[in-house]
Structure 1
Amino acid sequence: MEKVCVLGAGSTKYGKLEDSITDITLQASVDAIESAGIESKDIKAGYISNVFGVADKQVHLGPVVMSNLGISDRPSLSIESACGSGSVSFREAYANVAAGFYDVALVAGVEKVTHTGTEWTTTYFSYCSDFFYEGQSGVSFPGLFASMARAYMNEFKATEEDFAQVAVKNHDNGLLNPKAHLRKKITVDDVMSSAVVASPLKLYDCCPFSDGASSVILCNEKFAKDHGANYIEVMGSGRGGSSAALQGREHLTTIPSTKIAAEAAFKMAGITPKDVDFAEVHDCFTIAEIVDIEDLGFFEKGKGVEAVREGQTKLNGQISINSSGGLKSKGHPIGATGVGQIVEVFDQLTGKAGERTVKNAKIGLTQNFGATGASCAVHIFQSV
């Protein structure tokens, strides 16, 4: 296998955007191309992650993006894996570059849904669940993650205030990210007094609906050395699956796909969770971040909530979690989220993270899942 590197990265601001889904994808992609110091013609293939293109009247997005970049003859693949689409697209590009099929590939993730309104957007999101058992029965994702939160509270010594600490920490990080959707400082009291969405989760326990696009350029090591002063290496890549419906899980306080994907990624990288300096994890709801950091092996089961309570996951704590602000503050344009996590790792490991820099960081990890964790991908990166 070829060694695979990330040579460039780019992203739009996350939030409510006026430009079309095509335009914002191109903006992020051009940023990534310029960041890599290459030209569009150097790209041999494109991998585009998107879930609800139909909401902006554009579903076959790959060829549209490649055509607008002036490389219409290059193959593209549009990928959907619910909220985990971005990391799955990255995985497919990684596998093809590692196999030697392409020396350079573009990965772009995008979503544009805010213009559809809350009712329709919530309906679209429900299609990512096991709709027969969950969505059409009236169970939304807040309700499903609320079930996980209640189970966690019953099994371990956790409180609603503990979950609120996750939101407060991620908003503090998001204040330092100029591209974050919700750049607003909040307190535990703010979270606790916000409207109940699905008990015990409140409004400030939930990530926002966001528009946005993120892109990265992957290449083999030779191309990176020939063309880039700043690049990072992909150390490990893993994917895993879980029961599509939450009711099919043996336990509600763990996500099997994360554990499977993490085990594969750590094995490939030849390291352990203790070697990771920072991680971008899938905090669609505050409970998710706590479950994630346990399933990834950063903390023992039931101890993640203690880590949050003690500030171990704050910026430059024992392990910095979601330095970007995470889905909670940075935002969650679902097709872009997994790619956006990798943009953050690239910025951190190449000295471009500004005020939110994780000091002396050498190894970063991303974890991105779809739905309630039915699919997951974990990637590990190192500076060179």
Structure 2
Amino acid sequence: MSRVYVLGGEQSDYERNWSKEGKSLTGMFREIIEDGLRSTNISVEEIGKLNIQNKVGAFVGNFAAENYLSQGHLGAFLTEVDDVFYGLPSARYEAACASGSVAIDAAVAKIKSQEYDLALVVGIEMMKTVDSKLSGAFLGSASYYEKEAQGIDFPFPNLFSKLADATIEKYKLETERYMNNLAEISYINYSNAKRNPKAQTRNWFMSKAQAKMRKTESNQLVGGRLAVSDCSQTTDGAAMVFLASEEYAHNYCKRNNLQISELPYIKGWGHRNAPLTFDSKIKESINDPYLLKWTRVAVKDAYTKSGLTVEDMDLFEVHDCFTSSEYASLSCLGLTEPGKEYEAIESGLITFEGDKPVNPSGGLIGGGHPVGASGVRMLLDLYKQLANKAGDYQVENAKNAMMLNIGGSATTNYTFVLGKD
């Protein structure tokens, strides 16, 4: 089967507040695409040539622009960037927080079918257009809104607090130890973000002590047992990547004096959907060792397709929308047995200096979470790590890496393995 290569891309600075800058959605599209073209050394003339040949397409991941911006039809916004995009096939893809991964998946399929040689994937979200309470209500539509979010302030912190409760109950964990492990996850991701020049919280303060001090003025509870330190950020931002066929990647390398062995390619992937409501997920998993049964299956699918195992992975970018989601993902990734996720945290395995770093970028908690962009940003960070372009958060000698992107309360589960020969 033909390979799909990642040529690179770009991420916006997730610290920015685009509304306060007076910048529009069009401006965000224009900046991220122009920056991505520049960083990959792909010209608009090249895009135009491929467009005439009908060998290029664009894929936009976005969750809730209709709510935050009263704007749909985002696939058409590329025509506002440059007239080279006139006529170019482009569409918007949505699966809650996994919207970016759905866009990646669609692009990969077009390249593997040999319809396209090059695909432009953009993930984008502007979320700072409303206050936090209204934003929480908008995000609630990623759940079964009528049953799980309607009339509830900040429904997703409450849902992922239920995940924390279910984890403690299923594995008979000591509550204080579990909560201290969540605090450690928060501290690790905030610490990693300080190495990332585009992370939202790179200038924020978060100590282990503060992360543990829930119910305090500096770390207030948001939903159930989860506090501010346990939550990902409301973020304005975009990320983009170029994906390419083998033939195009070889020609690209010749033009840029690269060896094809230097380019990472997608080795494996998985996509599984769990029941929509959180209670249905828990009910279905009663007799399964994994609390997030279908998240684990999506991970296993990616390992199987890649021919690799967890031992082959040098790092992970995972969906830490809340500390409880990262905690549950550690066994799904195969880093521990289910119910023993605390071993990966307490041993230092997942720290930046550990043998299996998780979220060296800072993840969603430290890096930021513009919902529709997060999957694309994760793939871009895997590319940076394998291409040795991650700067101060570079994991040494990285050859294979995995990302896990989830939508809703782990309803849509996407995994990709990126690697080099």
Q: TM-score range by the shorter chain?
A: over 0.9
| Cα deviation code 1:212-251 (max 9, x no counterpart) | 0000000011211111335311101110000100010234
Within the candidate set 71, 78, 92, 1:78 is matched to: 92
SS in 1 for 2:316: strand
Residue number in structure 1 paired with 2:316: 279
Q: For the Cα contact (< 8 Å) 2:379–2:403, is it kept in 1?
A: yes
Provide TM-score, normalisation by structure 1: 0.96
| Structural mapping, 1:249-268, within 5 Å | 249=281, 250-251=284-285, 254-268=291-305
Rg larger in structure: 2
Aligned pair 1:201/2:233, yes or no? no
Q: Which whole-Å CA distance do the structure 2 matches of 1:151 and 1:106 have between them?
A: 40
1:380 is aligned to 2:417:
yes
Alignment match, 2:7: 7
Report the secondary structure of 2:371's partner residue.
coil
Residue in structure 2 matched with residue 132 of structure 1 by the alignment:
146
Give the equivalent residue in structure 1 for 2:216: none
TM-score for the superposition, normalised by structure 2: 0.88
Deviation at 1:314, TM superposition (A): 0.4
Contact 1:108 1:216 in 2 (8 A): yes
Tell me which moved more, 228-237 or 89-98.
Answer: 228-237
Q: CA deviation at 1:66?
A: 4.1
Equivalence for 1:63: 76
Higher deviation after alignment, 115-124 or 278-287: 115-124
Do residues 123 (structure 1) and 129 (structure 2) align? Answer: no
Aligned partners of 1:21 and 1:58 also within 8 Å: no
Mapped to 2, the partners of 1:329 and 1:273 lie a distance apart of: 24
Moved more, 369-378 or 62-71: 62-71
Amino acid at match of 2:271: R
Aligned-partner Cα distance in 2 for 1:312–1:73: 49
Query: Structure 1 counterpart of 2:190, which letter?
Result: H
| 1:37–1:227 Cα contact (<8 Å) kept | no
What amino acid does structure 2 have at the position aligned with 1:289? Answer: E
Percent identity, please: 29
CA distance in 2, matches of 1:382, 1:334: 25
Cα RMSD (Å) of the superposition?
Answer: 1.6
Cα deviation for residue 34 of structure 1 reads 2.2
Q: Which residue of the partner structure matches residue 207 of structure 2? A: 187
Q: Quick check: 141-150 or 183-192, which moved more?
A: 183-192
* Residue 255 (structure 1) shift: 2.0
Runs of 4+ in 1 over 6 A off after TM superposition: none
* 8 Å contact kept, 1:180–1:329: yes
Q: Matched residue pairs, number?
A: 384
The letter of the residue matching 1:149 is: A
Cα distance, 1:66–1:320 mapped onto 2, change above 3 Å: farther
Which residue identity does 1:7 align to in structure 2?
Answer: L
Paired position in structure 1 for 2:42: 38
Q: Is the 8 A contact 1:14 1:210 kept in 2?
A: yes
- Superposition map of 1:103-122 within 5 A: 103-122=117-136
1:246 aligns with 2:278: yes
Match of 2:33 among 21, 25, 29: 29
Match of 1:219 in 2: 244
Q: Which runs of 5+ in 2 are unaligned?
A: 214-218
Deviation at 1:67, TM superposition (A): 4.6
- Aligned equivalent of 1:89: 103
Q: Distance in 2 between matches of 1:281 and 1:269?
A: 18
CA contact (8 A) 1:8 1:34 kept: no
Query: In structure 1, how many angstroms separate the alpha carbons of the residues matched to 2:403 and 2:29?
Result: 21
For 2:27 and 2:295, how far apart are their aligned partners in 1?
33
Q: Which moved more, 1:100-109 or 1:36-45?
A: 36-45
Q: Report how far residue 33 of structure 1 moved.
A: 2.1
Question: Cα deviation per residue 1:333-378 (whole Å; 9 max; x = unaligned)?
Answer: 0000000001111111111111111111100111101011110110
CA separation in 2, counterparts of 1:122 and 1:132?
A: 14
1:151 has 2:176 as partner: no
Task: Name the aligned partner's letter for residue 60 of structure 1.
Answer: H
The separation in 1 between residues aligned to 2:13 and 2:411, in whole angstroms, is: 28
The answer to whether structure 1 residue 363 and structure 2 residue 383 are counterparts is: no
Deviation (angstroms), 1:268: 1.1
> What secondary structure is seen at the aligned counterpart in 1 of 2:275?
coil
C-alpha distance in 1 between matches for 2:392 and 2:90: 36
The one-letter code sitting in structure 2 at the alignment partner of 1:221 is E
More deviation in 7-16 or 226-235? Answer: 226-235
Cα displacement string for residues 31-84 of structure 1 (whole angstroms, at most 9, x for unaligned residues):
222222222324610000111212224311112114523221110110110001
Q: Distance in 2 between matches of 1:71 and 1:352?
A: 29
3-state DSSP of counterpart to 2:142: coil
1:53 to 57, 65, 79: 65
